[in-house]
Structure 1
Amino acid sequence: MLENRNSGILFHITSIPSPYGIGTFGKEAYEFVDFLEKSGQKNWQILPIGPTSFGDSPYMSFSSFAGNPYFIDLDILNKKELISKEDYINEDFGDNIEEVDYEKIFDKKTKILRIAYNNARSKYKNEILQFKEENKDWIDDYSLYMALKDEFKLKPWQEWDEDIKLREEEALKFYRRKLENEINYHIFIQYEFFNEWKKLKKYANDKDIKIIGDIPIYVAADSSDTWANSEIFLLDNKNNPKKVAGCPPDAFSETGQLWGNPLYNWDLLEKQNYDWWIKRIKGNINLYDMIRIDHFRGFESFWSIPYGDKTALNGKWVKGPGMKFFNALKKELGHIEIIAEDLGYLTRETIRLKEDSGYPGMKVLQFAFDTREESDYLPHNYNKYSVVYTGTHDNDTINGWFLNAAKEDVKLSIDYLKLTKEEGYNWGFIRGAWSSVSNLAIAQMQDFLALESWARMNTPSTLGGNWKWRMKKESLTESLAYKIRNMTKLYGRL
């Protein structure tokens, strides 16, 4: 995908217009694919699509393998005669067409999906059994875990009764019997999710549009991954973390960032030939055409923080698996299209790892205009085997950045990119990315729409108010597609 010049749009599923409160794999998703085709784009990049937990972040999922039930389309279920229009047409999914109300989605959609399950049990029995067999590596543990979440009033698994928390055999048997119906509900949900996603992906691929997915390096502490595979994490004999993930103090944070994810037991993973990770990547290969791996530098060295600390100050750098991991990956799975998220301060060792792996790195244009230092993110420093972004999901929108950034940084961007108000600062930034030598250029949908900070997807290190932006249906105009296509053609990316 990086052999030739091309481009794409970063636009998460949640942001797709929908009459039912949140983006889905329904009609509007297919219309977005049509828009990508009209505008000459070859790539659709999305955020992780796993089931989200507290905080609604796609980077904190209940599973590295499962899909988010919110993305199942209600009209598709209706066409399959699993629900009637009366089951959902008058429900209140939220009154703001530009913002997801996750509380209402959780309450309303869950109830409707249970109706669909009850109608699907006999109708799709054989297909669901086949799906379960094809996904046996993870579906049994995940469906039991989700059923147990309901049984224990949504508490984290670390707060469950001791016997099931530690996965004692008798407890597993007991709850599998007791929660059989609930387990089967969650298996059906995954069956339907993967069915709908594969059809949407095929539609995109048939139009020569590739899907770029996203994998967080770490998993959530409260996830089926940590509960069912506790031995591959640095946990004590009660399955509580010994060390957790984060990053050290820097110019942006005096105390560093405390993410709280459990760290991997890389020594044990190496002895197992990285089996869990290889299964994880293999699962994602089936979902996407290319994978962005978040926090790539963590494979070289990671910041290890004592569990219980309130900040990241007392952490220390610990060596990661390095090329041993990527060599095992390539040996088992062959060539994989991967983008290495290599943002931030990089040591020589991390740069060497990226070079040895052969994966392209990222360039973020919004990071280029820091007047305090010469920036590697300025386009004249790029190489063609890289991916340039106007900004990522963690950045402000371009027009928001212009309102909030330091005046001297804004002036540097205007001088460097020859920006004008007539063209639009957002379009000038997109031009800067599209005209660069990077073979792949990506911009957020918000930047094509000239939106300000209210449409920002995420502000790192904050809880609440994130991951909510939704696009208006009328935003995808013929004139916008024509304008994007013209710029894409001009800079040899068509």
Structure 2
Amino acid sequence: MNQAKVFNKRRSGILLHITSLPSGNLGADAFKFIDFLCASGGTVWQMLPLGPTHEDGSPYQCLSAHAGNNRFICRETLKSQSWAEPTKLNDAKMSRLMATAYRQFLKNASEEDKQQFISFCSEQQYWLDDYVLFREIRHLNQARAWFDWPQELRERHPDALNKVRQERDEALMIRRFEQYVFFTQWQQLREYANKKGVKLFGDMPIFVAHDSADVWAEPLLFTLDEQGASTRVAGVPPDYFSETGQRWGNPLYEWQHHIQQDFDWWKRRLKTQLALFDLIRIDHFRGFEACWEIPATCETAVDGEWKPAPGEQLFDELLDYFGELPLVAEDLGIITEEVTKLREKYGMPGMKILQFAFGGDASNPYLPHQQCEDSVTYTGTHDNNTTLGWYQQLDEHTKAHIQAYFGETTESMPWLLIRSALRSVSELAILPLQDILSLDGKHRMNVPGTMMGNWLWQFNWDMFSPEISQRLKSLNSLYGRC
């Protein structure tokens, strides 16, 4: 059985996306947060996907499964480089700033620095060339989706692509340089975290956005017609929460093509993520056993059907290629016995959400007494309300169940659930920062199924007090997670 090294001892961590830092980038706030995590006894920092987003800002619908979001680049760190001319790096628009920085780099950088950039471009060529071409053509077409581009560009005619390469050579190099800067700053952060004993925990959506470099570059791997339009899309069927289900709209995988290529696309995708993170959560894991396939002509998810996926073949191939798979399976919702067997075969811990535990009976799988070591316990995830906001909206029956379950206690929400997560048998406990700061529902990260007002929350350091770190460290120590 494959078992991720991060689970060789009890740990705790905090869920916080980069955008929620006061600066929203990889600069001083990110390093300061690692220091806070360490001072609190935590050793895992979990975040959301890092890719460049569409206009809605969702990290789960990125323009690339490989690239980093340029908004995470720290300008102050950029200005501190030996080749930089800081007074000339003040443009508010990131694209113009990076163009200026690239020209300074060519003019002033040492041969060693230039060679590192050349090496980066060579090592990342397996995704970087398609990505920068995709972004530049998208820019030249007023940010229209690739399937709305002129035919010769949409279908990647060699002459049309070569014309762009020749005419936009510097612009393409600037986009490569932008990714070089992102990955360089990221590695500095990861090295700092690892030296402090902190593991970085990433997030990989099972599906990719239709309008992405990945789908444009290799359309045969996805359920598309000859014009690039989706024929079948992803989602989940109707359930207790929605009479019409959820129609996500992502194209599905043409699995037979992936099998014929020995899952090379997946190897490349995971290779990039493992270069960024020590541990990775796979969103919607059940889709590797079977996924809900919806005809693209349907406006809801009602008329979909379950279609099997080659999960065992895929993970056998990945395990053979990488040697180990430090993956956590997002196994929430209605999970069949087959999905559980698939997860357990490859030693992937599942997720236990305490906000889902109460209001029913003793058989609820999320209740603390139902949990197992090979799992990750959360108070809530980015899709949930904050624990305080959740509790404030509960009906009296569910509140009574919570009181009866935990018995007489003077501890109030959210710390009652924080303590429960930390003392659980799960080898990893993850707490959203909003819960540690005792914030209400106005501070939640996103509301599933909505398009507006998500992914915007940021904390400020004034929300912290010395008592928070001390209280958390005391609980981590008490329950063997330091």
TM-score range, shorter chain: over 0.9
- The one-letter amino acid paired with 2:374 is Y
Q: CA RMSD in A?
A: 1.6
Who is 1:62 aligned against? 63
The 5 Å alignment of 1:15-30 reads: 15-18=20-23, 23-30=24-31
* Distance (whole Å) between structure 2 residues aligned to residue 353 and residue 231 of structure 1: 27
Measured in 1, the distance between the counterparts of 2:458 and 2:434 equals 10
* Other structure's SS at 2:455 match: coil
CA, structure 1 residues 35+473, in 2 after alignment: closer, same or farther (shift >3 Å)? same
Amino acid in structure 2 at the alignment position of 1:82: A
Residue from 6, 13, 17 that aligns with 1:8: 13
| Counterpart mapping for 1:18-57 below 5 A | 18=23, 23-57=24-58
Note closer, same or farther for the CA distance 1:411–1:111 as it changes in structure 2 (3 Å cut): farther
Between stretches 409-418 and 261-270, larger displacement belongs to: 409-418
For residues 267-288 of structure 1, the C-alpha deviation after alignment (integer angstroms, 9 at most, x for no partner) is 1101111000011111111110
2:225 to 188, 211, 236: 236
> Deviations 1:237-267 (Å, cap 9, x if unpaired)?
2221110000000000100001000101111
Q: Which runs of 4 or more aligned residues in structure 1 lie more than 4 Å from their structure 2 counterparts after TM superposition?
A: none
Match of 1:389 in 2: 378
The DSSP-based 3-state class of the residue aligned with 2:233 is: strand
Aligned to 2:3: none
* CA displacement 1:361-397 (0-9 Å, x = unmatched): 1100011013378410001001111110010000000
Tell me the secondary structure at the aligned position of residue 47 of structure 1. Answer: coil
What TM-score does the superposition give when structure 2 sets the normalisation length? 0.95
Q: CA deviation at 1:294?
A: 0.4
Does the 8 Å CA contact 2:133/2:172 hold for their aligned counterparts?
yes
When residues 255 and 207 of structure 1 are mapped into structure 2, their CA distance, relative to the original with a 3 A threshold, is same
Q: Does 1:438 align with 2:426?
A: yes
- Distance in 1 (CA, whole Å) between partners of 2:296 and 2:55 is 20
In the other structure, the counterpart of 1:284 is: 273
Of the candidates 463, 469, 481, which is equivalent to residue 469 of structure 2?
481
Q: Which runs of 5+ in 2 are unaligned?
A: 1-5
Of 310, 319, 334 in structure 1, the residue corresponding to residue 308 of structure 2 is: 319
SS class of match (1:121)? helix
Change in CA separation of 1:243 and 1:481 when aligned onto 2, cut-off 3 Å: same
Q: 2:255 aligns with which of 266, 269, 272?
A: 266
Secondary structure at the counterpart of residue 144 of structure 1: helix
> Which of 58, 82, 85 is matched with 2:84 structurally?
82
Alignment of 1:374-453 (within 5 A): 374-418=363-407, 423-453=411-441
**2: CA distance between counterparts of 1:411 and 1:118?**
64
Q: How many Å separate the matches in 1 of 2:145 and 2:362? A: 44
The 5-angstrom pairing of residues 340-355 of structure 1 reads 340-355=329-344
2:211 corresponds to 1:222: yes
Residues 186-240 of structure 1, C-alpha deviations (whole Å, 9 max, x = no match): 1011000000000100000001110111000000000000000111111112221
User: Which AA in structure 2 matches 1:139?
Assistant: L
Which residue is 1:104 aligned to? none
Rounded to whole Å, the distance in 1 between the matches of 2:451 and 2:90 is 30
Contact 1:131 1:191 (C-alpha < 8 Å) held by counterparts: yes
- SS state at 2:234 partner: strand
1:99-114 matches, cutoff 5 A: 108-114=93-99
Conserved 8 A contact 1:371-1:408:
no
TM-score, length of structure 1 as denominator length: 0.93
Q: Alpha-carbon deviation of 1:83?
A: 5.6
TM superposition shift of 1:82: 3.3
Would you say the 8 A contact 1:35–1:476 is kept in 2? no
2:13 match: secondary structure: strand
CA separation of 1:83 and 1:12: change in aligned 2, threshold 3 A: farther
Q: How many residues align?
A: 472
Q: Deviations over 1:339-375 (max 9, x none)?
A: 0110011111111111212211110001101337841
Question: Cα gap change, 1:121/1:411 in structure 2, threshold over 3 Å: closer, same or farther?
Answer: farther
Within 2, Cα distance between the matches of 1:86 and 1:28?
24
- 2:352 is matched with which residue: 363, 370, 380? 363
CA deviation vs aligned residue, 1:299-325 (integer Å, no higher than 9, x gap)? 000000111321111111000112111
Q: Deviations over 1:138-168 (max 9, x none)?
A: 1000000011111000000011001110001
Aligned letter for 1:364? I
Cα distance in 1 between the residues matched to 2:14 and 2:308 = 35
CA distance in 1, matches of 2:362, 2:448: 23
1:144-183 correspondence to structure 2 within 5 Å: 144-183=133-172
Residue in structure 1 matched with residue 453 of structure 2 by the alignment: 465
Structure 1 residue 85 displacement after superposition: 5.3
Contact 2:89 2:101 in 1 (8 A): no
Asked if 2 retains the 8 angstrom alpha-carbon contact of 1:413 and 1:419, the reply is no
Q: 1:332 aligns with which of 293, 314, 321?
A: 321
Corresponding residue of 1:105: none
What SS is found at the alignment partner of 1:147? helix
Match of 2:144, SS state, is: coil
Unpaired segments ≥5 residues, structure 1 = 92-107
For residues 367 and 317 of structure 1, the distance between their equivalents in structure 2, rounded to whole angstroms, comes to 25
Letter in 2 for 1:79: S
**Structure 1 pair 131–415 and aligned structure 2 pair: CA distance change class (3 A):** same
**Residue 490 of structure 1: aligned partner:** 478
For 1:35 and 1:167, the matched residues in 2 are separated by 48
The Cα of 1:87 is off from its aligned counterpart by 4.8
Task: Write the distance in 2 (CA, Å) between the matches of 1:295 and 1:477.
Answer: 36
Distance 2:437 2:166 in 1: 52
The answer to whether the Cα contact below 8 Å between 1:59 and 1:216 also exists between their aligned partners in 2 is: yes
Are the counterparts in 1 of residues 437 and 464 from structure 2 also a CA contact under 8 Å?
no
Structure 2 letter corresponding to 1:130: S
